[in-house]
């Protein structure tokens, strides 16, 4: 199956309110261009340098999403063009994004990463950390970022009940936070679900899915 065929198959299966991020990390520009020609405009990368190189080379109507763990010293390389930063898990990182956004005269959209998995390897904030971050004076001082949603990654397991429990937990946190109507925090996006579990994520309330291998094939 071609990339275009895979992409269109997934797109037609998604509800209208769900945004598809094509996870293109490690894939060559020729693969991304095949998806682009088939109508895809949102691509997700997990390495800032690779994303910047592709941004230079590819059409400028593409929205680039940073979906990997972000090191503060690399933020400056993507600040001129990144559309959405997914895995924001600390005030320190938000402050750096704000600083670099200001330098580029931009407001950068971010998703706060919530820790829902039963795995030590995943990053993210718990409910208490999220609440205290959003209530802090330091957060209120940040003028060049906007928190447009939350994201999370379920445990890597075949146990569908566990995955569903984790997705449901994230949706509950999302709804609770949205109801607080915090300034600079217009929560619209709930990013959860990847190639293996995106249908379940959508059932649990996801509005954005990150799909790579089902579009581009396995990674080397």
Q: Residue 113's domain is classified under what CATH number?
A: 3.20.20.10
Neighbours of 5 (CB within 10 A): 11
Q: Is 210 within 8 Å of 21 (Cβ atoms)?
A: yes
Name every residue whose Cβ is closer than 8 Å to that of residue 172 and which is 6 or more positions away in sequence: none
Looking at residue 30, what is its pLDDT?
Answer: 97
Six token digits for residue 171: 């949706």
Q: How many domains does the chain have?
A: 1
Written as tens digits, the pLDDT of the chain (220 aa) is 899 999 999 999 999 999 999 999 999 999 999 999 999 999 999 999 999 999 999 999 999 999 999 999 999 999 999 999 999 999 999 999 999 999 999 999 999 999 998 877 668 999 999 999 999 999 999 999 999 999 999 988 999 999 999 999 999 999 999 998 888 888 999 999 999 999 999 999 999 999 999 999 987 6
User: Domain range for residue 200?
Assistant: 3-216
Looking at residue 183, what is its pLDDT?
Answer: 84
Six token digits for residue 73: 């010293």
**Helical ranges in the chain per DSSP H:** 3-13, 29-37, 48-57, 75-78, 91-103, 127-135, 137-140, 160-179, 198-203, 213-216
**C-alpha to C-alpha distance for 148 and 150, rounded to whole angstroms:** 7
Looking at residue 220, what is its pLDDT?
Answer: 60
Say how far residue 72 (Cα) sits from the centre of its chain. 17
Looking at residue 2, what is its pLDDT?
Answer: 94
pTM: 0.95
Six token digits for residue 168: 């449901």
Looking at residue 35, what is its pLDDT?
Answer: 98
């Amino acid at each position: 199956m071609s990339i275009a065929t895979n992409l269109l198959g997934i797109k037609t299966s998604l509800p209208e309110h769900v945004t598809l991020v094509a996870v293109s990390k490690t894939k060559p520009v020729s693969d991304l261009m095949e998806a682009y020609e088939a109508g895809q405009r949102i691509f997700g990368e997990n390495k800032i340098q690779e994303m910047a190189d592709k941004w230079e080379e590819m059409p400028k109507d593409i929205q680039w999403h940073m979906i990997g763990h972000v090191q503060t010293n690399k933020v400056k390389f993507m600040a001129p063009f990144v559309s959405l930063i997914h895995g924001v898990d600390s005030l320190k990182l938000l402050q750096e994004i704000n600083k670099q956004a200001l330098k580029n005269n931009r407001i950068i959209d971010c998703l706060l990463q919530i820790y829902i998995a039963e795995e030590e390897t995943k990053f993210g904030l718990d409910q208490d950390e999220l609440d205290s971050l959003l209530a802090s004076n330091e957060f209120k001082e940040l003028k060049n970022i906007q928190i447009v949603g939350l994201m999370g990654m379920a445990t890597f397991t075949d146990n569908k009940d566990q995955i569903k429990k984790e997705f449901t937990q994230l949706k509950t946190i999302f709804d609770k936070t949205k109801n607080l109507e915090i300034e600079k925090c217009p929560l619209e996006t709930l990013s959860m679900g990847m190639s293996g579990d995106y249908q379940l994520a959508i059932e649990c309330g996801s509005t954005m899915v990150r799909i790579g291998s089902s579009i581009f094939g396995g990674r080397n």
